Structures are given as structure tokens and as C-alpha cells.
Amino acid sequence: MINVPVNLRQSASRRTGSITSVCSPSGPAPDSFTSVKETDGCTHHRPRLTLTSAQAVPSRSSSQSPGWTISSARASLLIALAACTPAAFYPGQPNTTHRLDALRTEDGACSHAWLGSTDIRACAQTGAPFTLADSSEPRLVTKLSAASFSDADPSNWLVIVVGPDGKELLRQTHEKVVPEVGMCTEYGCNKWSISSLPMPTAWSPGRYLVRYVCAFDTRRIVDLSIRLTSSPAAQAPK
């Protein structure tokens, strides 16, 4: 119930629509009222309207459709950003098949996979084609791309290679290098490195299994396979 000061003529109170207006000959409106207009020397006051938090209407820009609030727009933006990770538009190929002549190409016979935001790429190669350091030496080239320097450092990854006959051919870590800094965005800069390890025997037809184990967290493992064939490349068996 609203307490009205005694100097107001309560007999002049009336209903205007669904809001009560109180008539006062003069003077300011009471704290809980607001002036509306003057009629016949009488100032009418109506109760102030105060919205509670539950009654408040969420703000919307003119470009937003009804029911579209700022909070829902932000939620949708976060979902979109989560989907726009490198792995989303550049999916891994952990199992690949290549002809033997791919060993003498600039990239080599490669397969790669994502581990979170870290891309690990293994490439079988013979020599260093189209460079002055070219030779007939078989090598496994590792290319790392990551958000952190530690993940892009090849010395932090143990490399294990198993040959087509099931025998382990290589178990070694690379020498420590300082990764290069690549493209930068508002979220940070990409780090990358390229390094290689000599293989004990020449590459031959068959399926090679390559495993990378993180040195400071052995739960982080990436398994890749590279199948070499003398016939035209076919889809890698699952």
C-alpha cells in the first residue's frame, strides 16, 4: 500500500487506465510518484515504475532478430571459434601410401596427425633432393608445428620406427633446436621446426610404423604409418 502525504487531496485520486494518479494542488511529487500533467490547476502524479531484475528486458541491437540476446550471440561465437582450429580445416592423414619415387621428392613420403594444437609430420626421404646436401642416405624427416616452443622442439619427442618385418629400426630423439616463429594472430604465434634422423637401412616397399612419444608427458603419443609401394599409390588399408 502506498502512503500518500496528508496535503494531497486523496478525494481527487482517480484511476487512469490501470495506474492510479493522485491530484495535488501544488508542490513536488512524492518520492514514489512522478508528475504527469497539470489540469485545472491540479498536478497529477503517478506511481513510479521500477523493474526488478526478473522483469528487466534484455537489450538487443537493431540488427538482432527477436529472441536473439547478446549472451546467446557470444555463446555461438565461442562455438564457432572452437570449430575453427587448424585440425578442423586441415585434418590429419596418419595412414598414407606412397610410391617409392616419392622418396626423392622435395617433401618425401609423409603422414601427419594432430595432438591437440600440435601437428606432427613424419616424412620418409632419401637424401636431400634439389639441394647441395643431396645424397643417397635414407632419412626420417620430422616437421613440428605447435603453439608452444616445447612442443615444437624435436628434442622433446622420442621417435620409434618399426619396419615392414616388424623389427624396430630406430629409437632416438632429435638434437635440441630453437623452433622458428611463424604466423602470429591475436591469440599467439605459431612455432615450427624441421629435423631429420638417419635410418639404419634403405627404405623398401612395405608399411613403416612411426611413433612419437612426448618426453615430458608420455601419455601424449602419436602413431603414424607410411606404406611404400612400387605400384601406383592406392588407398591406405585401415
Domains of the chain, first to last: 15-47 (no CATH), 92-229 (2.60.40)
The CA distance from 104 to 128, in Å, is 8
Kindly indicate the confidence band of residue 178, based on its pLDDT and cuts at 50, 70 and 90: very high
Contacts of 27 (CB under 8 A, 6+ apart): 7, 43
Higher pLDDT, 103 or 232: 103
Contacts of 225 (CB under 8 A, 6+ apart): 94, 95, 96, 111, 207, 208, 209, 210, 236
Contacts of 60 (CB under 8 A, 6+ apart): 66, 68, 69, 70
Residue 6 pLDDT more than 80?
no
Sheet containing strand 206-214, strands side by side: 95-99, 221-229, 206-214, 157-162, 168-173
Reduce the DSSP state of residue 69 to 3 states and report it: coil
Average the pLDDT over 126-140 and give the result. 91
pLDDT at 54: 44
158-168 pLDDT tens trace: 999 999 999 99
Kindly indicate the confidence band of residue 13, based on its pLDDT and cuts at 50, 70 and 90: very low
- For the chain, the C-alpha Rg in angstroms (whole number) is 37
pTM for the model? 0.61
Reduce the DSSP state of residue 104 to 3 states and report it: helix
pLDDT at 185: 87
pLDDT at 230: 87
Residue pair 189/183 in contact by the 8 Å Cβ criterion: yes
Residue pair 105/160 in contact by the 8 Å Cβ criterion: no
32-60 pLDDT tens trace: 555 555 555 555 555 555 444 444 444 44
